Amino acid sequence: MAELTFSLQGTDKNTKARAGMVVTDHGTIPTPIFMPVGTVGSVKAVNQQQLEELVRARIILGNTYHLYLRPGTAILEAAGGLHQFMNWQRPLLTDSGGYQVFSLAANRKISEEGVVFQSHIDGSRHLFTPESVMGIQRSIGADIIMAFDECPPWPSEYAYTKTSMELTHRWVKRCMEYLAENPALYGYTQNLFPIVQGGTFADLRKASSEYVASLGAVGNAIGGLSVGEPEEMMYEYTGLCCNILPADKPRYLMGVGTPWNLLECISLGVDMFDCVMPTRNGRNGMLFTTQGVINIRNKKWADDFNAIDSGLPTEQQLPYTKAYLRHLFVADELLALELASLQNLIFYLWLVSQAREKIVSGEFAGWKQEMVPVLKQRL
């Protein structure tokens, strides 16, 4: 058992971009990295072997709220934790469930103690506290676990955002105290990341970043962005947080985003990302490729017999044409969902690995400037 470590392999001289290495008990994670979202212990439409071999994922996510409701902690503990349950032996991260409680659950009531909420599955009532959420994450057994926080919606009033941030700060102390008193279950280290909040108010973001930095955690997360605010605002507050959070610890921007969001935020100093976008949008026929964005349902692809994405390395290209994938979508074939999800995830992991190479070689700034308009274009 060893605490998570982070080392820098390179920095870009023209931006704040960094290439690093996160080391956990389940393996190393080169950064910048994108983490596919496996909310209930499954990345939708993609199996674990594909994630390892085709996507080349180094770490994936599970979600505390969803896994607590189904299959429940008793099953996960009997299985030996989520790694064993889903047969994934690389690193795992679990989100605390705070965002889901505030976005999915009905009739929630927030207090100093925690949050009472109704399950979106059957309406049953539950209480999440910082302590219970840490206990659930102990049962799940991820390598990186998130502090329980409140993620206020955007836009929110200043007074509400400040009160919410202060509550999140008090909760993280309770998370840390619980973990100090309750050892990990499965013989490897679980590493807590506190979360910066503060909405889109510069003084609150600054205060929260300084508070989180003072906790001395092995890594830190930036929450409460990409919740509806304009992109430029997201970049502004991401940059503000990165300038304060310690440079010798990984920085995780939660729930972001498009391929161009990733490149812009890498240039601000972010190391880790997650988002449902590649799989969710893929299932709806939107492909992210090295040439730009494709709506594969469009008739223009009906007789396009070129590879889905010829710009990817040959060994990672899916051996199917755009015409065939469009046919699968039009015919409502399940394989369409799998192939589109795979394409998007392969592309996302390729993109961050390219960013890493460019940072190390000193070419990142120029490469990013060329790539962003290409990635944004609709084909």
Instruction: Specify the DSSP element, H or E, that contains 170.
Output: helix 158-181
Q: How many CB atoms lie within 10 A of CB 2?
A: 10
Give the three-class secondary structure for 166. helix
Is the preceding peptide bond at 257 cis, omega within 30 degrees of 0?
A: yes
Q: Which residues contact 275 (CB under 8 A, 6 or more apart)?
A: 34, 37, 226, 255, 256, 257
Q: Is 95 a catalytic site residue?
A: yes
- What sign results for the dihedral spanned by CA atoms 63, 64, 68, 74? positive
What CA–CA distance (Å, rounded) separates 232 from 234?
A: 5
Both tokens of 65, joined, read: 């709220």
- Contact between residue 342 and residue 309 where contact means Cβ atoms under 8 Å apart: no
Give the three-class secondary structure for 306. coil
- Contact between residue 64 and residue 138 where contact means Cβ atoms under 8 Å apart: no
Tokens 């394409």 locate to 343
**DSSP character at residue 378:** B
Give the three-class secondary structure for 309. coil
What CA–CA distance (Å, rounded) separates 313 from 350?
A: 9
Residue tagged active-site, from 12, 271, 274, 309:
274
DSSP-derived secondary structure for 246-303: -TTS-EEETT---HHHHHHHHTTT--EEE-SHHHHHHHTTEEEETTEEEETTSGGGTT
Residue tagged active-site, from 12, 95, 143, 149:
95
Residues carrying an active site annotation: 95, 274
